[in-house]
Structure 1
Amino acid sequence: MDLEAFYGWVLAAFRSVGAEVTSPWFYTQLGLILAATGVALAVAAALRSRIDMTSLAMGWPTPLRLLVRVLVESSSTAVFAIVTLIVRLVMVHLTWPSRSYLLITAASLAFAWLIIRLATSMIRNQFAVRLLSVSAWAVAALSILGLLDSTVDALDSVAVVLGGIRVSPLLIIKTTIAMAVALWLSSVISKFLESRITSARDLTPSLQVLLIKMVRLLLIVAAIAIVLAAVGINLSSLAIFSGAIGVGVGFGLQKIVANFVSGIILLADKSVKPGDLITVGDNFGRISAMNTRYISVAAGDGREFLIPNEDLVTQKVTNWTYTDKNTLVKVRFSTNYDADPRAVCKLAVEVATATPRITKLKPPSCLITEFAEYGMNFSLTFWIADPDAGMDNVRSDVMLALWEAFKREGIRVPYPVRDIRVRGPLPVDAVIENPT
């Protein structure tokens, strides 16, 4: 459709609308539509006040509960469509069908909106629901009004050629809608497959994360390829855009690509996995999630460190639970020289053995490490099997128990004592103030 034909079509449409507006039956139908709108709003308000969705849909399956909720929320549209359709049937029997065309158009538009809302009730993403609902209803409205073919021709008449691809408003709209639907379907399929992979007990956590990421990436790539092929875009014609993407990766996306590749390497070599206790620099905590760009490390005090994957590949990482969850904990303490070091070591081992969370498979040990200036230094070592529950707390429990045992046995903890000697008299300057 060229511009001259489009102008003629618009002019004819305006003439048709002007002829209809001058007809008295137009205002009769408009009044009936307004009356049907008032009835629909009143009935919908009464239904919402009487229906309690919480008690009504309790115990129902989730899809049915969502369907009923959407139906109650769209009750005004349903009532309007039914009332308008009944009024139109009455007018068809009383007068010519052409005098009630506005009523059947309004009823058809209302029914189309109701069907679309019910069809999108299973989608959780509200933005996707609005986008699909509005797009589908716009197409349905144009089809009901008989303007779909002419609108499609008009949108396709204006186009530019980019890299061998004919880009028109129609192509952009079709690609956007198809891409949204395809990505939503890939997300649904991905979540289903993720649940199946997560429930597989014979897969390690790192392998589960790797499979989930690969499945998600493959589904997204497949969805994009299918949409581009469906709208008529030849993938070979996108070579210029792939070259631009390569240049962008070379100049500005190195870190993103490096983190993505590093994440794949970490998942493949299983050096770290969800649940491990690691130390990276000054950050210590348990890995709670492994993402495409970073890993999340929970510190245990409410903080979470987001460490880029590249840092785990290029920097030194301490994995406390790489091959074994048993972790060695050290407690250093001192006593004065009046204590028997053998008795101190024996007492420390007894205290550690009686402390909860300390494993009995590897018994504690205590060694004297140094004869220091103020006393003897000791090192008490013991093993725990649950480092994810914290190491500072068990270390604190052992030190408190040692303090109580030392007080009970009369063992004193040294502290520095300094003697200050004053040689000779100190000069004192006395200032006598005049009392007057």
Structure 2
Amino acid sequence: MQILETMENEILQAPQEIAISLWAQAQVVVEGLMRPWNAYQVAIAIGLFLAAHLLARLLGPYVHAWMRGREGWPKWRMRFLVMLHRRLRLIFFVALIWPTVWIMQSVTWPSRSYLLGILASLALAWLLITILTRFIVNGVVRTMVRYVAWTWVTLGILGLTDEARSLLESIAVELGDTRLSLWMVLQAVGVLAVLMVAARFVSRTTAAQIRQNKEISPSMQVLAVKLLQVILYSAAFFIGLRAVGVDLTGLAVLSGAIGVGLGFGLQKVVSNLVSGVILLLDRSIKPGDVISLGETFGWINSLGARYVSITTRDGKEYLIPNEDLITGQVVNWSHSNDYVRLDIYFGTAYTDDPHKVRRIAIDAAKGVERVLEFKPPVCHIVGFGDSSVDYILRFWIRDPTGGLTNIRGNVYLALWDAFQENKISIPFPQREVKMLDGSTLDTRSPSNTSYVSD
């Protein structure tokens, strides 16, 4: 008990001692500002800030008009210019204060430009951090990294890094033999963020090179990119934890227990992940394939870890779980080749010569765009119906992504024009109603007319 009380007293005393030290340094700084030359430096800094503000107000509209005239520039460059335009005041302040510091250092004692040097370093550091963090894509991560970098650089320029580190290390909890301080947590977050950004950059660069390699099939490209991402992000995570001194032995035991729990709670998710890997390995479907799954017909945009993105002809995008593609019946119209055979049915009157009808139908289909000539259409009689002789017309296309309904409609229109030109009639059922002797027409209800017998 005495040991625990001693540790608690030390933990409570450490922040108090650091706070007292910082308060003493703040008093020294305030007293220093009361000296004449320090007051002059503050006044000069305020004047330079007002001058930068006026320059930003005067030149800002001209810069904005110049930016609007750069319509052909890439989007990333325009976003960079917008970011610089929003920070014109800081840019002008940095451009004004540094020459002032250099002039004062050359004509006066260094101590008489000390505060201006600190302000110039802070302004330049903040500007550089703002520009560099703009390359981080994620907005939340960018904001967090920017504020953390601003805080740490400010403490470093003011010479308060050791005090801040001591304060963060004093705030800690004991987990068995491991002491977890706030400083260690912040270190881990910073290192992990840097490693994750690096892994993301390497992953994107390598993925672009893999996709440009035409010798690798599309499905193997997706599989290679996914495996690369898993390896890079996992390595970044474990290297980051190891770099800040986290013992991975206990983490391995904990991850095993978590894995068992996830195996029971996330069976569907795991099933979709495994199904996605199987789809990539057996190459049964790949990006660009045209497939039918139930009533969904479209082409595959991308293969994800959990689902497959399918776009239909009407612009809808369906996200089909990988498990459904493994367990369900899928029609892949372009699995081994792009050739697709389509069938349409029609009928003609019994008075028309079947040989002539077949010849006219084949010639009409040949004249339709997208119908293949080296796989010529064929037409066969499939039956004698109640009112017509029934035919089937078969033809081939090689671009199912162009749609199936539209090509069928074009072939039907070609048949209609050809039949009209050659006096071929398309019959339709006709019905005769006969009145029996002694029957009367019941007109009591106009919407329900019927014939009744006496």
In structure 2, the CA distance between the partners of 1:362 and 1:75, relative to structure 1 (3 Å rule), is: same
Distance 1:20 1:160 in 2: 34
Aligned equivalent of 2:54: 42
Cα separation, partners in 2 of 1:88 and 1:411, compared to 1, 3 Å: closer
Return the alpha-carbon distance in structure 2 between the equivalents of residues 422 and 57 of structure 1: 80
Letter of the 2:201 partner, please give it. V
Q: Deviations over 1:364-390 (max 9, x none)?
A: 111111212222211111111111111
Which residue, 137, 151, 156 being the options, matches 1:138? 151
Choose from 12, 17, 31 the match for 1:8. 17
Paired amino acid for 1:287: I
**In structure 2, what is the equivalent of residue 175 of structure 1?**
188
Q: TM-score, normalised by structure 1?
A: 0.88
Q: Secondary structure at the match of 1:380?
A: strand
1:260–1:309 CA contact under 8 A, matched in 2: yes
Q: CA deviation at 1:140?
A: 1.0
Residues 92 and 395 of structure 1: CA distance in aligned 2, closer, same or farther (over 3 Å): closer
List alignment gaps of at least 5 residues for structure 2: 1-9, 445-454
Deviations 1:37-81 (A, max 9, x none): 211222233443343246689889978x88777655544224324
Which of 221, 225, 234 is equivalent to 1:208? Answer: 221
Q: Contact 1:164–1:237 (CA<8 Å) still a contact in 2? A: no
In the alignment, structure 1 residue 413 sits paired with structure 2 residue 426: yes
| 1:372 aligned partner, one-letter code | G
Instruction: State the secondary structure of the residue aligned to 1:227.
Output: helix
Q: Distance in 1 between matches of 2:100 and 2:184?
A: 40
Match of residue 269 from structure 2: 256
Preserved CA contact (<8 Å) 2:196 2:233: yes
Residue 24 in structure 1 maps to residue 34 in structure 2? yes
Q: What amino acid does structure 2 have at the position aligned with 1:142?
A: L
The 5 Å alignment of 1:368-407 reads: 368-407=381-420
Structure 1 residues 420 and 279: CA distance shift in structure 2, 3 A: same
Deviation at residue 100 of structure 1 after TM alignment: 5.6
Deviates more, 1:155-164 or 1:110-119: 155-164
| 1:222 equivalent in alignment to 2:231 | no
Report what 2:254 is aligned to.
Answer: 241
Change (3 A) 1:81 1:410: closer
What letter is aligned with 2:340? T
Give aligned pairs, total: 429
State whether residues 81 and 106 of structure 1, in contact with CA within 8 Å, keep that contact through their aligned partners in structure 2.
no
Task: Report the counterpart of residue 359 of structure 1 in structure 2.
Answer: 372
Match of residue 303, structure 1, among 316, 319, 331: 316
For 1:264 and 1:429, locate their aligned partners in 2 and report how far apart those are by CA, in whole Å.
71
* Residues 200-231 of structure 1: CA deviation (Å, up to 9, x unaligned): 12111111111111112211111112211111
CA distance in 1, matches of 2:109, 2:370: 89
Q: CA-to-partner distance for each residue in 1:109-150, whole Å, 9 max, x for gaps?
A: 112112323434544444443333222221111112221112
- Aligned partner letter, 1:391: L
Quote the Cα distance in structure 1 between the aligned partners of 2:14 and 2:336.
76
Whether the aligned pair in 1 keeps the contact of 2:18 and 2:167 (CA below 8 Å) is no
User: Does the CA-based 8 Å contact 2:48-2:93 persist in structure 1?
Assistant: yes
Deviates more, 1:236-245 or 1:312-321: 236-245
Which residue type is aligned with residue 430 of structure 2? V
Deviation at 1:298, TM superposition (A): 1.1
Q: SS at 1:426's partner residue?
A: strand
Fraction of identical pairs, as percent: 36
**Counterpart Cα distance in 2 of 1:346 and 1:57:** 58
Q: CA RMSD in A?
A: 3.0
| 1:323 and 2:351 correspond | no
CA contact (8 A) 2:308 2:321 kept: yes
Give distance in 2, aligned partners of 1:408 and 1:56.
Answer: 59
Q: CA deviation at 1:242?
A: 0.6
Moved more, 65-74 or 175-184: 65-74
TM superposition score normalised by structure 2: 0.85
Distance 1:39 1:420 in 2: 99
Partners in 2 of 1:56 and 1:402 — Cα distance?
54
Secondary structure of the equivalent of 2:342? Answer: strand
